[in-house]
């Protein structure tokens, strides 16, 4: 049993998680609500960057477009300014 816990712990230490691609700073609060908010914001940001539209981003996240707009507002996310104009 100890071998199993050692392996899972070392996996976390190595950063083998699929969440490594998200830029989440958890060095401050360890409250679950803060961690979940940071993960939600990172997920929304990633979906918006990957997709061509908010409708597609909502589909990637598995939420309604209205929910996506609320998430964008809640996390203060803004659209990047297109300087190619």
Evaluate whether residue 39 is within a structural domain. Answer: no
Spatial contact of 54 and 60, defined as CB atoms under 8 Å apart: no
pLDDT at residue number 25? 67
| pLDDT top residue among 21 and 16 | 21
pLDDT at residue number 23? 62
| CA dihedral sign of residues 16, 19, 21, 25 | negative
Q: What's the domain range around 67?
A: 52-78
pLDDT digits (tens, 9 = 90+) for 20-73: 555 666 677 788 998 899 899 999 999 999 998 999 999 999 999 999 999 999
How far is it, in rounded angstroms, from Cα 63 to Cα 48? 13
Evaluate whether residue 30 is within a structural domain. Answer: no
pLDDT at residue number 74? 95
pLDDT at residue number 22? 59
**Cα–Cα–Cα angle for 23, 24, 28, nearest 5°?**
145
Evaluate whether residue 58 is within a structural domain. Answer: yes
pLDDT at residue number 50? 94
Number of domain units in the chain: 1
Evaluate whether residue 71 is within a structural domain. Answer: yes
pLDDT digits (tens, 9 = 90+) for 72-82: 999 999 876 55
Helix, strand, coil percentages (3-state) for the chain, rounded to 5, are 65, 0, 35
């Amino acid at each position: 049993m100890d071998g199993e816990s050692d392996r899972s712990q070392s996996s976390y230490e190595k950063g083998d998680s699929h969440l490594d691609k998200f830029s989440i700073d958890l060095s401050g609060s360890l409250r679950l609500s803060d961690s979940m908010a940071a993960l939600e914001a990172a997920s929304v940001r990633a979906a918006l960057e990957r997709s061509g539209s908010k409708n597609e981003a909502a589909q990637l996240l598995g939420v309604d477009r209205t929910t996506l707009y609320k998430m964008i507002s809640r996390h203060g996310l803004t659209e990047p300014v297109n300087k190619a104009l």
